[in-house]
Amino acid sequence: MAKMEQWSAEAALGRRVLVVEDEPLIALALEETLAEHGFRVVASAQTVAVALRNIASAQFDVALLDLCIGAESVEPVADRLAAMGVPFVFTTGYGRSALPSAHATRPIVEKPFRTEALIAALVAALRRAAQDA
């Protein structure tokens, strides 16, 4: 196992993830990829409303947020997570300039993403949150 893979696997092991993605095939691929790398997807949402309900009812360590959920912005979800101190990573095909200004410095993985970039971003978000705690 390569050094980065080992570092990522150790940091990811058993970490609970909320996935917010409106495209079912992408959501499924994300869930499989995360599981293969030691994460545990505990909740998945295809709408902002469901994501907000999941935040209220599920326990998780990190979230992966598609920037645009159908015609909706995921900003209310990001706002709630930020207020709770839960780390999250945006995924988008629109680039960093599309991020809400309140979250402009949050981690982002541009679509189409490489698995390594996705896992590295989640691990980095978890590590930053642990250092800030």
Domain residues for 93?
Answer: 3-132
CA distance 71 to 31: 23
Question: pTM for the full model?
Answer: 0.89
pLDDT of residue 133: 67
| Structural domains of the chain, count | 1
Query: Residue 34 belongs to a domain with what CATH number?
Result: 3.40.50.2300
pLDDT in tens, 108-125: 999 998 999 999 999 999
Split at pLDDT 50, 70, 90, the class of 1 is: very low
The single residue listed with the structure tokens 């990811």 is: 12
pLDDT of residue 2: 46
pLDDT in tens, 74-105: 999 999 999 999 999 999 988 888 888 999 99
> Which residues lie closer than 8 Å to 27 by C-beta, 6 or more apart?
19, 21, 44, 46
| pLDDT higher than threshold 70 for residue 47 | yes
